[in-house]
Structure 1
Amino acid sequence: MFTATLHFTQHRECILRELTADIDAPIPIEIEEIQNGFVTFVLHAGPHADSFQSDLEHADHVNHVKRLDDENLLITKPSCGAYTAIYQNHGTLRRSNTVSGRQREYNVLVFQREDLKNIIDDLEGFGTVTLGKLEEFRATTDSPLTERQREVVTEALARGYYDWPRKITNEDLAIELEISRATLHEHLRKAERTLLSSALADSHKRTGRGQFERIELEQE
């Protein structure tokens, strides 16, 4: 499992790009949910909350805006592409990310370096990407998975399901495990969510020293 910082220049038009173009400091964003191409996030607007809220409420493509307090807005809108690129390649965003005009900083958690390469490839389709750092996360706690989830994930890894390209299809993996594809996907999704949530929770408890081992991104 790896953490990566991606510096991304957005080439597409985006409401956040318009809102933050003339703001000196990057605006923090905490991602809450990605679903069906829509993203829900908290925008830490600070002193700009009033103007941001007004502009967002008048934007046709913004689905929902809620004022949480004096400085924070909860927003649901279609993804401009970056969030979809990350999640469809088995990545997840850590809660702390920033936006400043065209510039984005994404802190991403992925299972494999191949997933990160695919994320970068997709992002480069509509922007410019620079890898700030890549670090290996080494969990020190016991596995939070159920015994069955651990069995399924272990078999998936051993059979090359998470390799790129995949060495086994989901149908064949389900046959090997003597379960349906729907059950396979349910076990994998729950296991991935549990592992990622556990890793994120553990990283928040640490000071940042000693928890990661710096590695180099492998060359193609």
Structure 2
Amino acid sequence: MFTATIHFTQHRECILRRLTASADAPFPIEIEEIQNGFVTFVLCAGEHADAFQSELEATDHVEHVERLDEENLLVTKPSCGAYSAIYRNHGTLRRSNTVSGRQREYNVLVFRREDLRRIIDDLEGFGTVTLGKLEPFEASTDSPLTARQREVATEALARGYYDWPRKITNEQLAEELEISRATLHEHLRKAEHRLLSSALADGHRRTGRGAFERIEVDTGD
């Protein structure tokens, strides 16, 4: 797996391009969902939140605008193509993506270099791409998963294996990972067990044979 920073100059018209063009600094954007050609994201608009909200609500093709707090807007609109290009080629957007007029910075997790190449090829169809930092992905040292378990579980999550209804079958996922279905299920089973055990251990104690019971905390009331 690799993490890549992609600098992208958007050539298509986009409401975000118009909103952010005159600002002094880029705006953080976090992608929540891409579905049926629409993208849902949180835009950290800061002091521009009121103006951005009014503009977005007045734009016909923007499907939904919701004020989350003083600085953040939840927006659903048709994708201009970049996010679809990333997810279609098995990339996953990480945090700290930004938008500033025509300029975009995407921090992407990919499993294979050829996936990154396809992402760049698709983006070049409607913009200019510069590849920034590219480095092997290293899992956190306190992760309960092995590197391979993390890779398989991350791919399953990114490809919609855990969505309902599922966006990819176990056969398709195993084929993309170039492993057997039995190996896929073994990696996912172990990953799920470790993640659940780690999560349940917070505020619980192990009672034996992998079971947990809640720890009652005395608050002094």
TM normalised by structure 2 equals 0.67
Partner of 2:101: 101
Superposition pairs of residues 113-128 of structure 1, within 5 angstroms? 113-128=113-128
CA pair 28-177 structure 1, distance change in 2 beyond 3 A: closer
Superposition pairs of residues 135-150 of structure 1, within 5 angstroms? 135-139=135-139, 140=141, 141-143=143-145
Superposition pairs of residues 104-183 of structure 1, within 5 angstroms? 104-139=104-139, 140=141, 141-143=143-145, 170=172
Larger Cα Rg: Structure 1 or Structure 2? 2
Q: Aligned equivalents of 1:40 and 1:81: distance in 2?
A: 13
CA pair 54-125 structure 1, distance change in 2 beyond 3 A: same
Shift of 1:178: 7.4
**2:23 counterpart SS class:** coil
Given that 2:174 and 2:181 are in contact with CA atoms closer than 8 Å, whether structure 1 keeps it comes out as no
Q: Which runs of 5+ in 2 are unaligned?
A: 156-170, 196-221
Partner of 1:33: 33
Partner of 2:78: 78
Shift of 1:33: 1.2
Q: Aligned equivalents of 1:173 and 1:29: distance in 2?
A: 32
Matched, 1:20 2:16: no
Encode CA deviations 1:41-76: one digit per residue, 9 max, x unaligned.
110000100110000001111010000111110001
**2:60 counterpart SS class:** coil
How many aligned positions are there? 167
CA pair 112-47 structure 1, distance change in 2 beyond 3 A: same
TM normalised by structure 1 equals 0.67
Q: Which runs of 5+ in 1 are unaligned?
A: 154-168, 199-220
Partner of 2:69: 69
Q: Which amino acid aligns with 2:42?
A: V
| Backbone CA RMSD of aligned residues | 3.2
**1:49 counterpart SS class:** helix
Q: Which amino acid aligns with 2:145?
A: S
Shift of 1:170: 4.6
Q: Which amino acid aligns with 1:54?
A: S
Identity level (%): 72
Shift of 1:173: 5.0
**1:4 counterpart SS class:** strand
Shift of 1:3: 0.4
CA pair 178-42 structure 1, distance change in 2 beyond 3 A: closer
